[in-house]
Structure 1
Amino acid sequence: MAGDADSGGLPGGEAAEEMGMGSEEERVATLLGIAEECNTEEELRLLLRGNPHPVCYDSFLPCDRMTIAQGVLKAIHVRKMVEAGCRVKIWIDDWSAFLNNKLGGDMEKIQTVGRYMIEVWKSIGMNHDGVEFLCSSAEINSRADEYWPRVMGISTHRKIGVVRELRECKKPTAQFFNPCMQCAGIFFLEMFLSSVSWSPQNTQKQNKGLILQCQS
């Protein structure tokens, strides 16, 4: 349950307010203000009481120049999540970019673009306190024994919808495997809130901790 989440020894409730994160009402209002979907407001309140610093997952595909909307909106949303006491983990999804043949499948170029995008967010004032950038290839390689069993588990419980279309599809097989990898990334990071577009109905079957989906 959300209220039983590991708080890492950090205080909740009134103590969280004393740490400058605002009252529970203010924190809930901040998160709901950028939310696209929320299971229930009560679950969100229980999460914040039990864990004043829940993990929020965000990700981006390093494959092209950043649009103004992508840069500014993400910086605003991350700032609000940090103000509400969240720990934001931003997943630099270089593996997905590689599997989708972005930048010609050149991993070096993909990772260079990833670093460029981080610098853009820094330049427009993204709050660094409480924000951690994680490169998917590095994290997966360092914890492969945790990540790949999760991917396999997800793939065995999901079905490909339209077989007839796949028969005629000319895309590389890697692109059909990629959704399982992306989904596994959320659970791999043990997050409670998501600021990317996912279906809560689907992901909650695997992870009961997913409470809030923010606007992407």
Structure 2
Amino acid sequence: MTPQEKVKVIKSFAQEIISEEELLKLFEEKEHPVAYDGFEPSGIAPIHFGLLRAINVKKLLETGIHLKLYLADYFAYINNKMDADIKKIQRVGEYFIEVWKASGVETNKIEIIWASDIMDSLEYWDRVLTVARHLSLNRTFKSLTIAGRSQKDILSTAQLFYPSMQVADIFEMDIDICQLGMDQRRANMIAREIADKLNWKKPIAVHHHMLLGLKGIKQMEDAEQTLIASKMSKSDPTSSIYMHDTKKEIENKIRTAFCPPNQTQGNPVFEYAKYIIFPSLGNLKIYRAKEHGGYIEYQTANELKKAYEMGNLHPNDLKMGVSESLEMLIKPVREYFEKDKKARNLYEEVIGYNITR
């Protein structure tokens, strides 16, 4: 695969690349650049964590990237997840690994890193303080969106360390590419600025789309707050489809999801087709009764988009097709957790925890 072809693969799922020219140069100079994606271990895994993650990981590995999946256990701790019980947080992290395996992530081809492992050195905290010295308190407050917080929340002093720690992690892990969601953009941009100031290696930022929650777009004061409020969140059951949902639960959730006729922008049901079903299955099949048009199959998201916006596909038919396709993708994950004793025990333990925002 040529460097240009590798960039094309990344562009197939990236909403934003900063910058494409830097990414091409990186692939020209380095056969196996290092990328990372990070998560707070908290709660039960939704489809953006399982299905969408598997799609993106597979594409990253196709390009020869060395991928680090970062379990940010101490970030979850300072962010009060799982009642700030570090042992529970780490058990959730172990459960997350099983979700990845069940979703098709080849964990033998990636490097899984725990935040608690890389934080155990004076050098790490020296780096955190170095980053913090170059961040104003105002910039820190504004960057708390990466933790799902804002200045309006009641914050602890520990939470103010979050942005500096996340930026420090990028350099501590020697990252070439920060492959995170659009909601993490502030941290990656700070890292690029810090790199310029301190002559550290400047990371490339690859931001993927944030999957909408079932309710659709929730308008807030600005675009960033709207993004955070509208995304599918594992801590909000009313916004999420989970990797353990039954066929009936998937059907019920999709049936009541926001899905305006003739509109694909801000339509979560269309998004699930575009970002999950087409990349995973290669098509969307809809089995309608003959009197309602009969069987129809769409080969691309653009084909579906045109048909839906023109009114050639009813919202209920779109919902039916998406629901059946998601069931096809989630069913093997449910079965994995039913058959694998370790995975089943972890899930049963985690589902009994108090899930905190």
Q: TM-score category by the smaller chain?
A: 0.7 to 0.9
Distance 1:117-1:169 versus aligned 2 partners, 3 A rule: closer
Mapped to 2, the partners of 1:123 and 1:57 lie a distance apart of 20
Mapped to 2, the partners of 1:41 and 1:181 lie a distance apart of 26
- Whether the aligned pair in 2 keeps the contact of 1:91 and 1:136 (CA below 8 Å) is yes
Identical aligned residues as a percent: 34
User: Which of these residues, 121, 128, 134, is aligned with residue 107 of structure 2?
Assistant: 128
1:1-216, aligned counterparts within 5 Å? 22-141=1-120, 144-161=121-138, 170-196=154-180, 197-199=184-186, 200-207=188-195, 208-215=201-208
- Whether the aligned pair in 1 keeps the contact of 2:167 and 2:190 (CA below 8 Å) is no
Per-residue CA distance 1:27-69 (angstroms, 9 max, x = gap): 1100122223223333212111111111101101101111112
Mapped to 2, the partners of 1:147 and 1:122 lie a distance apart of 30
Mapped to 2, the partners of 1:27 and 1:114 lie a distance apart of 30
Give the letter aligned to residue 160 of structure 2.
F
- Secondary structure of the 1:172 match is coil
Per-residue CA distance 1:145-179 (angstroms, 9 max, x = gap): 3211110011111112289x97x964221011122
- Whether the aligned pair in 1 keeps the contact of 2:41 and 2:89 (CA below 8 Å) is yes
Higher relative contact order at CA 8 Å, sep ≥6: structure 1 or structure 2?
A: 1
How many angstroms does 1:187 deviate by?
Answer: 1.2
Mapped to 1, the partners of 2:135 and 2:20 lie a distance apart of 29
Per-residue CA distance 1:92-132 (angstroms, 9 max, x = gap): 00001110111111111000000001101101111235411
4+ residue segments displaced more than 6 Å: none
Mapped to 1, the partners of 2:205 and 2:106 lie a distance apart of 21
Mapped to 1, the partners of 2:52 and 2:98 lie a distance apart of 15
Matched residue pairs, number? 191
Segments of 5+ residues of structure 2 without an aligned counterpart are: 142-149, 196-200, 210-357
Mapped to 2, the partners of 1:35 and 1:105 lie a distance apart of 33
Segments of 5+ residues of structure 1 without an aligned counterpart are: 1-21
Mapped to 2, the partners of 1:129 and 1:55 lie a distance apart of 16
Distance 1:204-1:111 versus aligned 2 partners, 3 A rule: same
- Whether the aligned pair in 1 keeps the contact of 2:36 and 2:175 (CA below 8 Å) is yes
- Whether the aligned pair in 1 keeps the contact of 2:35 and 2:68 (CA below 8 Å) is yes
- Whether the aligned pair in 1 keeps the contact of 2:100 and 2:107 (CA below 8 Å) is no
TM-score, structure 1 normalization: 0.81
Mapped to 1, the partners of 2:69 and 2:118 lie a distance apart of 12
Give the letter aligned to residue 112 of structure 2.
F
Mapped to 2, the partners of 1:88 and 1:76 lie a distance apart of 14
- Whether the aligned pair in 1 keeps the contact of 2:69 and 2:113 (CA below 8 Å) is yes
Distance 1:191-1:201 versus aligned 2 partners, 3 A rule: same
Aligned to 1:17: none
Mapped to 1, the partners of 2:123 and 2:11 lie a distance apart of 32
- Whether the aligned pair in 2 keeps the contact of 1:98 and 1:107 (CA below 8 Å) is yes
Mapped to 1, the partners of 2:153 and 2:95 lie a distance apart of 33
TM-score, structure 2 normalization: 0.50
Mapped to 2, the partners of 1:157 and 1:175 lie a distance apart of 17
Between Structure 1 and Structure 2, whose CA radius of gyration is higher? 2
- Secondary structure of the 2:193 match is coil
